[in-house]
Structure 1
Amino acid sequence: MPDVTILQVVPRLETGGSEQSTIEIAEALTRAGAKALVATEGGRLATALREAGGEIIPLPMASKNPLTILANARHLTRIVEERNVTLLHARSRAPAWSAYLAARRTQRPFVTTYHGAYSGRSRLKTLYNSVMARGDRVIANSRYTARLIESRHPVPPDHLHVIYRGFDTTAFDPDRIEPERVDRLRDAWGIGPGQRVVLQAARLTRWKGHLDTIEAARLLKAQGSLGDAVVVFAGDSQGRDDYLAELEAKIEEAGLGGIVRLVGHCDDIPAAFTLADLAVVASTRAETFGRTSIESQAAGCPVIVTDVGAAGENVVARDGNESFTGWVVRTADAGALAAALAEALSLPRQTLDEIGQRGRRNARTRFALHDMQRATLTVYDELLGTELAASFR
């Protein structure tokens, strides 16, 4: 196979889906015998990128200043020529414009991954967003994202690929979670022996739907369907003190003090989902992927999600399906959420465990990291005529 050098561009290497995917593809390229370059401002994941075999090209890629974008394009053009880069892959809009210009100047293939919804409220913003659909191949991280792209941009169908985010499901395997980790959370959250836990693992921001979950818990308590279950909100307010105070007030007003618990940031989410009996993803705004619903299933924790964005794609819905792994309910509908919670909480623990086992299989078979890596390498092969996917181990 000829020498292959792939240049990915991303604003920074901080935490986030696009950043983690950048590292995972750099690792896959290295294992396939190719070179992996990343133009970025760097960040806390820089060491992880280097450990994966990638090389950082330091540039101010996070800047949205048009002059900086043009300057970055000139720098990337020089890098492409000097390092014999064979393909450029962009994951965010500002660096994508620089990479697009460099790719066209050097006549190299250009790939984009559409990670976000990218709302366009003006013609200028729509033009700015359009770079993410200008790739010779465009990767969507869900079918929902693919539909967004198709509705906004004239992308040829054979240029559009749906590749779900992949992740290491073994990190969430409950058989690999030491009991001490689960016990630590149980003690910290004040969970009694045998007490059922409904976990909403999400930062405290309004569109995550915490208020709907509080109202659903109030309805369940009024109906006598809540039993001894507690609802745990595991997430940081990230400075949204007014929203945190509003949640605390709503909990007290609903008579749910001690039942709905705000426990702050959780640094061991795999153990949290292992402890939980049910997970809730109550988002009211569309997300293009929705990792939390997959993490919960990987941990064997049945999940209830709202029918917005890509969340419903990740779950095998109840809807009369004997092989279901969770429930999909109407968005911003506390009554529908309460009904799903009541059904789930009424099930014997053995039945919930069986649903959880199906969820684990769903996560392993549809969202495995190596599948995402291989599918992305296949896109590169399609443009380059190489055999990276076949060389990937």
Structure 2
Amino acid sequence: MKVMQLLPELNSGGVERGTLEIGHALVAKGHESVVVSNGGRLVPQLEQEGTRHLQLAIHKKSFSSLFKIRPLRKLIVQEQPDIVHVRSRVPAWITHFALRGIAPKKRPHLISTVHGMYSVNGYSAIMTRAERVIAVSDSVVDYIHQHYPHCPKSSIVRIYRGINLHEFPHGYQPPAAWWHMVYQLFPQLENKTLITLPGRITRLKGHEYLLELIQVLKAEFNVHGVVVGGADEKKQGYLDELHQRVTDMNLQEHVTFVGHRSDIREWLAASDLVLSLSTQPETFGRTTLEALALGTAVVGWNRGGVAEILNRCYPTGLVEPENADALFRKIHQLLATPVKPAPVQDFQLSEMTDQTIALYQQVIGSI
């Protein structure tokens, strides 16, 4: 079986990591894996794990992307994949038009994954027009049913994202050398209670809640807020706003932005609490799951995929959405009387990859 996955770029994020994980699993099971994207920092890892990468600029939300239809069609005809799996809206539209120029009998099967609760419009509807539509949580299934009733229920397949529990073992602690490196870079973190907000720098992640929490908790609990995640060029203005807000609140000694990190496991394990405070429902919430797997408590809004994870793995961490008072009370309670998560049993990576590959095989009729 030959599978071609398409996504905008390969830098960071859940879509990108899921693409690598499926590529790795396909190769491990003797299948052929191809990924088409505009490239990025994860390409070397992708190729090292046995997937071929074909670079094509299918990432821009602009009219110029229409000029990629013919090159993509040529790639599909050359590669002759059994499955084309689209993971984002721009690549999905380009693929839609590319496939229309291929004779029906020669077209590959089309699968999409709805990774986000996108704005509801005709542009986003393309993600629901594949033979099978993978939803990454029950919340996403509900979102599709509610907003895209044209999508047959029989076409929607819920496949939770997953993590490798060997990579995020319960009780893991960063080595002394890591702590030494961190204290050299960020000496202000030493001997502090670390409350961490992971994720890319964007207005949706709820950084303002973190700043307000640190403001009211810092005297009593010696807390320090840690923001783990970088800002792309378009979000640099928002990062500047956050830095100014920290200054205005006189929190320079109490909040640290560590930027994009490849050692996210260590940061999550080093934290006393991890937060998930997105202003919109998360479709899944991978860092929530990773932190819980390591044994770090997570507090998050009771909605979306994060609520699905917390309900199963750590219901103590659930808080009424956007309720700042309830959030403060919950975190105060957990700092005063910590409650450690039990070892995670659900949401394993092998289940996600096995179910996805089984779906591929079902669609092409090989089983």
TM-score, shorter chain, exceeding 0.5? yes
Structure 1 residue ranges (4+ consecutive) displaced by more than 6 angstroms after TM superposition? none
Once residues 306 and 174 of structure 2 are traced to their aligned partners in structure 1, the CA distance between those partners, rounded to angstroms, is 26
Q: In the alignment, which residue of structure 1 is the partner of 2:267? A: 272
Q: Which runs of 5+ in 1 are unaligned?
A: 121-125, 318-322, 388-393
Report deviation, 1:340. Answer: 0.3
Distance 1:87 1:208, change over 3 A: closer
- 3-state SS of paired residue (2:317): strand
Report deviation, 1:137. Answer: 0.2
Once residues 241 and 140 of structure 1 are traced to their aligned partners in structure 2, the CA distance between those partners, rounded to angstroms, is 35
Query: Which one of 339, 343, 360 corresponds to residue 380 of structure 1?
Result: 360
Q: Please tell me whether residue 344 in structure 1 is matched to residue 344 in structure 2.
A: no
Q: Please tell me whether residue 333 in structure 1 is matched to residue 333 in structure 2.
A: no
Distance 1:312 1:11, change over 3 A: same
Q: In the alignment, which residue of structure 2 is the partner of 1:227? A: 221
Query: Which one of 126, 132, 144 corresponds to residue 131 of structure 1?
Result: 126
Report deviation, 1:149. Answer: 1.3
- Superposed, 1:249-264 pairs within 5 Å as 249-250=248-249, 252=250, 258=253, 260-264=254-258
Once residues 60 and 66 of structure 1 are traced to their aligned partners in structure 2, the CA distance between those partners, rounded to angstroms, is 12
The answer to whether the 8 A contact 1:137-1:160 is kept is yes
Report deviation, 1:217. Answer: 4.2
Once residues 96 and 304 of structure 1 are traced to their aligned partners in structure 2, the CA distance between those partners, rounded to angstroms, is 34
Report deviation, 1:316. Answer: 2.8
Report deviation, 1:73. Answer: 3.6
Q: In the alignment, which residue of structure 2 is the partner of 1:190? A: 188
Output one character per residue of 1:336-388: Cα deviation in whole Å (capped at 9) or x when no partner. 1111012112215xxx3xx23x1xx32xx33322221111101101201225x
Q: In the alignment, which residue of structure 1 is the partner of 2:304? A: 309
Q: Which amino acid aligns with 1:6?
A: V
User: Could you say which structure has the larger radius of gyration?
Assistant: 1
Q: In the alignment, which residue of structure 2 is the partner of 1:59? A: 56
Q: In the alignment, which residue of structure 1 is the partner of 2:293? A: 298
Q: Please tell me whether residue 20 in structure 1 is matched to residue 10 in structure 2.
A: no
Once residues 198 and 64 of structure 1 are traced to their aligned partners in structure 2, the CA distance between those partners, rounded to angstroms, is 36
Report deviation, 1:113. Answer: 0.7
Report deviation, 1:98. Answer: 2.6
Report deviation, 1:227. Answer: 3.2
Q: Which runs of 5+ in 2 are unaligned?
A: none
- 3-state SS of paired residue (1:89): strand
- 3-state SS of paired residue (1:284): coil
Query: Which one of 83, 86, 92 corresponds to residue 87 of structure 1?
Result: 83
Report deviation, 1:114. Answer: 0.9
Q: Please tell me whether residue 11 in structure 1 is matched to residue 8 in structure 2.
A: yes
Once residues 271 and 258 of structure 2 are traced to their aligned partners in structure 1, the CA distance between those partners, rounded to angstroms, is 16
- 3-state SS of paired residue (2:24): helix
Q: Please tell me whether residue 155 in structure 1 is matched to residue 151 in structure 2.
A: yes
- 3-state SS of paired residue (1:155): coil
Once residues 279 and 331 of structure 1 are traced to their aligned partners in structure 2, the CA distance between those partners, rounded to angstroms, is 16
Aligned residues: 354
- 3-state SS of paired residue (2:166): helix
Q: In the alignment, which residue of structure 1 is the partner of 2:168? A: 172
Q: TM-score, length-normalised on structure 2?
A: 0.85
Once residues 220 and 44 of structure 1 are traced to their aligned partners in structure 2, the CA distance between those partners, rounded to angstroms, is 38
What value does the CA root-mean-square deviation take over the aligned residues?
A: 2.7
The answer to whether the 8 A contact 2:200-2:230 is kept is yes
Once residues 284 and 59 of structure 2 are traced to their aligned partners in structure 1, the CA distance between those partners, rounded to angstroms, is 22
- 3-state SS of paired residue (2:304): coil
Q: Please tell me whether residue 111 in structure 1 is matched to residue 111 in structure 2.
A: yes
Q: In the alignment, which residue of structure 2 is the partner of 1:391? A: none
Q: Which amino acid aligns with 2:36?
A: A
Once residues 229 and 83 of structure 2 are traced to their aligned partners in structure 1, the CA distance between those partners, rounded to angstroms, is 39
- 3-state SS of paired residue (1:36): strand
Once residues 230 and 16 of structure 2 are traced to their aligned partners in structure 1, the CA distance between those partners, rounded to angstroms, is 21
Once residues 190 and 49 of structure 2 are traced to their aligned partners in structure 1, the CA distance between those partners, rounded to angstroms, is 42
Once residues 385 and 177 of structure 1 are traced to their aligned partners in structure 2, the CA distance between those partners, rounded to angstroms, is 46
Q: In the alignment, which residue of structure 1 is the partner of 2:245? A: 246
Q: TM-score, length-normalised on structure 1?
A: 0.80
Which moved further from structure 2: 295-304 or 239-248?
239-248
Q: Please tell me whether residue 370 in structure 1 is matched to residue 350 in structure 2.
A: yes
- 3-state SS of paired residue (2:92): helix
Once residues 62 and 213 of structure 1 are traced to their aligned partners in structure 2, the CA distance between those partners, rounded to angstroms, is 32
Q: In the alignment, which residue of structure 2 is the partner of 1:123? A: none
Identity %: 27
The answer to whether the 8 A contact 2:214-2:224 is kept is no
The answer to whether the 8 A contact 1:109-1:136 is kept is yes
Distance 1:19 1:198, change over 3 A: closer
- Superposed, 1:205-216 pairs within 5 Å as 205-216=202-213
Once residues 114 and 38 of structure 2 are traced to their aligned partners in structure 1, the CA distance between those partners, rounded to angstroms, is 20
Report deviation, 1:247. Answer: 2.7
